[in-house]
Structure 1
Amino acid sequence: MRLPEDKFDLDAVTQLEAAGFPATAPFLGDLIAWIADGNWPVAVPVADFLVSAGAGAIPALRKVLQGRDAIHQYFALLLVVDRLPPDVAALLHGDLKQLVTSPSLDQIREEVPELAERILQKLGN
């Protein structure tokens, strides 16, 4: 089992999927880097894997949402958070609220607050 070595390394994602969660839990913090650009071939399969990890992916997602990379935040919201079960996504309520109420200029440019608001509305908040 290994992390992707480049944005085309779908074999590594297949190995991670085969190992499953929680065996891959130690890798989630590093794995989330591969959804920084939703156009990379590994982005969607990695996002699917993070969704399948459920609450196990929350610490890695929280790190991205509390970070400074608005593009990574956008894809984390779009590809993962928006697809999590509502009870799991609700664990990120405070982070989502922060993105809506105090966005940076980069986040505004990348439409992060709008996406975070849509997810909050979907959660009934």
Structure 2
Amino acid sequence: MNHNVLPKNKQNFKSVEALARLERSMIIPLLPELLEWLQEMNWPIAAEIVDLLSKYKSETIPHIKTVFSQSDSIWIYNILAYLINKWDTDLVSILSSSLGELAHTIDIYEDTDLLSIEILWKVMFSELENERLHILNTDIGQIVNYCERNNKLLMQKDQYQNSLRRYEEIEATIRSISAFT
């Protein structure tokens, strides 16, 4: 593993450019160290690192799971907002249990719980909703079969929808309290 090519500081754009030219086999062992640059998105090279990591989505998943098991909510938020939020359904579904755990862990500082729910909702449940609407518009008789087939996901969807509603109510309460102070 050649760690000499890793950025030495937050202004080291040349290093990121050099990394982008390397073969996949040389980048993959460096993914954990590259993910560390997402700990602070204000660092000048952070966006460049996101672009680089976007080429190694499936390879970053085990390392992302490791980050999710830690308590650095800013780092987790940055990975969710700037990396995973752009992924397609197949990749997000691999992380669905980790995202589910984040969704159930209230984070009053960075809202990683809300962002996890939003990602799950957008990616996982939009297809489910599209299928439901298609059935309702084409063959209503299939709705029972749809519900039986997707029972677990539908229950999960309801749970996340209730969580989102609860968070919205909390936000509204906080806003109304803030208006009085």
Q: Judge same fold: TM > 0.5, yes or no.
A: yes
1:30-84 deviation digits (Å, cap 9, x = unpaired): 1100010111111111111111112011112111112110000010101111112
Aligned-residue offset at 1:26: 0.4
Could you say which residue in structure 2 is the equivalent of 1:122? 122
1:58 to 46, 61, 86: 61
Q: Does 1:3 align with 2:10?
A: no
2:43 to 40, 44, 51: 40
Unaligned runs of 5+ in 1: none
Unaligned runs of 5+ in 2: 126-181
Aligned residue pair count: 122
> Amino acid of the residue matched to residue 16 of structure 1?
L
Aligned with 1:124: secondary structure?
helix
Question: Which whole-Å CA distance do the structure 1 matches of 2:25 and 2:83 have between them?
Answer: 17
Question: Which whole-Å CA distance do the structure 2 matches of 1:8 and 1:54 have between them?
Answer: 24
- Could you list the structure 1 runs, at least 4 aligned residues long, displaced by more than 3 angstroms after superposition: none
Aligned-residue offset at 1:94: 0.8
Following superposition of structure 1 onto structure 2, how do residues 65-84 of structure 1 map, counting pairs within 5 Å? 65-84=68-87
Task: Calculate percent identity across the aligned residue pairs.
Answer: 26
Larger Rg: 2
**As a proportion of its length, which structure holds more helix?**
2
Aligned with 2:26: secondary structure?
coil
Structure ranking higher on relative contact order (CA contacts 8 Å, 6+ apart): 1
Question: Which whole-Å CA distance do the structure 1 matches of 2:42 and 2:58 have between them?
Answer: 25
Q: TM-score scaled to structure 2, two decimals?
A: 0.64
